Amino acid sequence: MNNSIKKNMRSDLDIIFGWIKPNSRLLDLGCGDGTLLQRLRDEKQTSGYGLEISTKHINTCVQKQLNVIHQDIGQGLDNFSDNSFDTVVMTQALQAMEEPHKVLLEMLRIGKEGIVTFPNFGHWKARLHLLINGRMPVSDLLPYEWYDTPNIHFCTFTDFEILCHKLGIDIIHREVVSQTGSWLKDFRPNLFGDTALYHLSKK
Amino acid sequence: MPSVFGQQSVGVVTPQTYHFDEPLFLACGRTLPKYDLVVETYGKLNAKKTNGVLICHALSGNHHAAGYHDEKDKKPGWWDNYIGPGKPIDTDRFFVVSLNNIGGCHGSTGPTTINADTGKPWGKDFPKLRVRDWVNTQARLADTLGIQQWAAIVGGSLGGMQAMRWALEYPDRVRHCIVIASALKLTAQNIAFNETARQAITADPNFFSGNYQVNDSYPKDGLSVARMIGHITYLSDDGMGKKFGREIRSGSFQQGIDEPVEFQIESYLRHQGNAFSSSFDANTYILMTKALDYFDLAREYGDDPASAFAAAQCKFLVVSFTTDWRFSPDRSKEIVNALVAANKPVSYAEIESNFGHDAFLIPIEDYYQIFDSYMKGISIDE
């Protein structure tokens, strides 16, 4: 199971990697251990910063000689000026934001483009879990109980795209990955894809 | 060398005095015709002279940053927790240079040393200094040592201000700038604490308008109170509460007993004040706090710290501590935001700690790790 998650994570990063142009200036919101930033720096000569709140992750990023800044993205991003980055990336954190719609707008204020990834709450397993058990879904991708989860704003792909439309955000690319690598995700992404990746820009 | 002080100590160190005869033009408009700097070094300068690390001391610091002055010495230098073999400022890799700034009172030219023109101690007539004056003397020291470019310049508090000023004044002479618990400029509250401390000194009848030396006097009580005020602001409310609480050192609150009560914190602070005023000079304290107050990194850059940093060529590490209210994390964030706006490489960590401003001197695991990781990434083979 661990292996398949790892493989899957790698494919997330592969897709993001493909969307980012060489020599871009990046801001990675919640950069974790800096895997993405490091790869982009080394292979696409990107520059920029990662924001992180875990000192353990900050230390790992410093070991990799990445620029990492201790900052809680939930507390706002108003210290970054308009259009100061080519791309602002946020992986697997949108659902943990108190005001996801405002974060999206902030990302596209600071960056010319934005990339977000989030777990799909419309996945068939989540739907089935709620339907059969009558309880909030708990799975390996979403392993938390409803009362102690950092993930407070779930959405499905469809919900997300409606929001983008409302906010005047253009979807440049959309990709869906599935842990099981199912071909079905291409057929019915909102039902069979477990993670969504969106490449966004302002209209 | 095998040392009684253990594997991670630089062992016994001996300060050296460097004489400088070239006049130093100061920011205040006056000139210091010549001056001495007292310096300690740890580790070895490599053949290319690319492994130099400059330590800039804070308000009450001096050249003695690491090691011991003799085998019987009980207390090591002020930053021994972070300087030594295998420590973040690793003396197996780096050649570490630590000096007593001019205006100081530990051997470098300052208010207590003799003014050659008058044959008397400088006293209150010692020129007012700014951070940039120290940076200029440090640059001359680097010339003397043959160090064209420092691998890193490191400083906490007032030391961090020197490190930042270096990055602006001598951008090609520093590769990494490490700024710990510092600020772009002091807040009104911070200046207020300094002024209260200065007033404690000048109100002491033994101050003699600063000419206490020639009057065979010394404002010890005033300086003690000044230090007590400072010390309170270097600790956190929480830390002080945990360490001392309302514990009583002597006396009793029992009814019917008229015995004056002394709290532990009172005795601790008085002890700190006394110890400090026995080894520090009052004029130096006034001079150093003034330099702190006057510092404003961006003053001559249209008050825009981002344009101040525009010319910097080095990478930055900025560190702050959660309970530091004298140089709060907000001040460090201002530094970081300016660096980001100037598109400079910077990493920033806000370290969870109970130790207030003093945290920068104390071994704290997260701080130690991040500092160590950063220093390990510094190339000494440029």
* Cross-chain CB nearest to B349 (options A55, A66, A84): A55
Are A69 and B352 inside 8 Å of each other by CB?
no
Task: Give the angle B284-B289-B295 at the CA atoms, nearest 5°.
Answer: 125
Whether residue A5 has pLDDT greater than 80: no
Interface of A with B in 49-68 (CB under 8 A): 49, 55, 58-59, 61-63, 65-68
B379 touches A at CB < 8 Å = no
Residue among B324, B328, B332, B353 flagged as catalytic: B324
Q: CA A137 to CA A149: how far, in whole Å?
A: 12
Chain A residue whose CA is closest to B376:
A63
| Residue B124 C-alpha, separation from nearest chain A C-alpha, in angstroms | 43
Are B346 and A81 inside 8 Å of each other by CB?
no
Q: Which of B348, B365, B378 is most worth mutating to test chain A (most A CB atoms within 10 A of its CB)?
A: B348
| Residue B161 C-alpha, separation from nearest chain A C-alpha, in angstroms | 20
Catalytic (active site) residue B357: yes
> Residue A103: what residue type?
V
* Cross-chain CB nearest to A68 (options B347, B351, B376): B347
Residue among B9, B60, B108, B157 flagged as catalytic: B157
Which parts of chain B have pLDDT scores under 70?
1-3
What pLDDT, on a 0 to 100 scale, did the predictor assign at position B257? 85
B340 touches A at CB < 8 Å = yes
- Tell me the residue ranges of DSSP E strands in A83-181: 85-91, 111-119, 169-177
**Integer CA distances (angstroms), A191 to A173, A176, A183, in order:** 19, 11, 12
Q: Which residues contact A201 (CB under 8 A, 6 or more apart)?
A: A108, A112, A113, A114, A169, A170, A172
Catalytic (active site) residue B157: yes
Whether residue A201 has pLDDT greater than 80: yes
- Tell me the residue ranges of DSSP E strands in chain A: 25-29, 47-52, 68-70, 85-91, 111-119, 169-177, 195-202
Of B265, B268, B236, B241, the C-alpha closest to B357 is: B236
What pLDDT, on a 0 to 100 scale, did the predictor assign at position A9? 46
What pLDDT, on a 0 to 100 scale, did the predictor assign at position A4? 43
**Integer CA distances (angstroms), B67 to B39, B70, B98, B154, B279, in order:** 13, 9, 12, 18, 19
Are B349 and A25 inside 8 Å of each other by CB?
no
Residue among B63, B106, B176, B357 flagged as catalytic: B357
B350 touches A at CB < 8 Å = yes
Count of CB atoms within 10 A of residue B146's CB? 9
Count of CB atoms within 10 A of residue A60's CB? 22
| Residue B353 C-alpha, separation from nearest chain A C-alpha, in angstroms | 12
Q: CA B28 to CA B20: how far, in whole Å?
A: 19
Chain A residue whose CA is closest to B346:
A67
Question: Does the pTM of the predicted model rise above 0.95?
Answer: no
| Residue A193 C-alpha, separation from nearest chain B C-alpha, in angstroms | 36
Q: Which residues contact B101 (CB under 8 A, 6 or more apart)?
A: B37, B56, B57, B108, B129, B134, B137
Q: How far apart are the first and last CA of chain B?
A: 28
pLDDT tens-digit map of B145-198: 999 999 999 999 999 999 999 999 999 999 999 999 999 999 999 999 999 999
Q: CA B130 to CA B185: how far, in whole Å?
A: 13
Are A69 and B346 inside 8 Å of each other by CB?
yes
B345 touches A at CB < 8 Å = yes
Q: Which residues contact A102 (CB under 8 A, 6 or more apart)?
A: none
Q: To the nearest whole percent, how much of chain A has pLDDT over 90?
A: 56
B369 touches A at CB < 8 Å = yes
Task: Tokens 């060398």: give the residue.
Answer: B1
- Cβ-based contacts of A62 with chain B (< 8 Å): 317, 347, 349, 370, 373-374, 377
Count of CB atoms within 10 A of residue B217's CB? 14
B36 touches A at CB < 8 Å = no
Lowest mean pLDDT among A9-13, A171-175, B288-292, B333-337: A9-13
- Cβ-based contacts of B343 with chain A (< 8 Å): 25, 47
Per the CB < 8 A criterion, the answer to whether B380 and B149 are in contact is: no
A128 touches B at CB < 8 Å = no
Q: CA B213 to CA B186: how far, in whole Å?
A: 31
Q: How confident is the model at residue A181 (pLDDT cuts 50, 70, 90)?
A: low
| Residue B65 C-alpha, separation from nearest chain A C-alpha, in angstroms | 25
- Cβ-based contacts of B370 with chain A (< 8 Å): 55, 58-59, 62
What pLDDT, on a 0 to 100 scale, did the predictor assign at position A180? 63
Taken as a whole, chain A contains a residue count of 203
Q: How far apart are the first and last CA of chain A?
A: 40
Q: Which tokens is B283 given? A: 């004029």
Are A65 and B377 inside 8 Å of each other by CB?
yes
B346 touches A at CB < 8 Å = yes
Taken as a whole, chain B contains a residue count of 382
Burial B23-55 (b: 16+ CB within 10 A, else e): ebebeeeeebeebbbbbbbbbebeeeebbbbbb
Catalytic (active site) residue B271: no
> Residue B298: what residue type?
A
Size of interface A-B (CB pairs under 8 A): 52
Q: Which of A25, A27, A49, A62 is most worth mutating to test chain B (most B CB atoms within 10 A of its CB)?
A: A62
Of B28, B46, B68, B113, the C-alpha closest to B291 is: B28
* Cross-chain CB nearest to A59 (options B346, B348, B369): B369
Q: CA A13 to CA B27: how far, in whole Å?
A: 53
B376 touches A at CB < 8 Å = yes
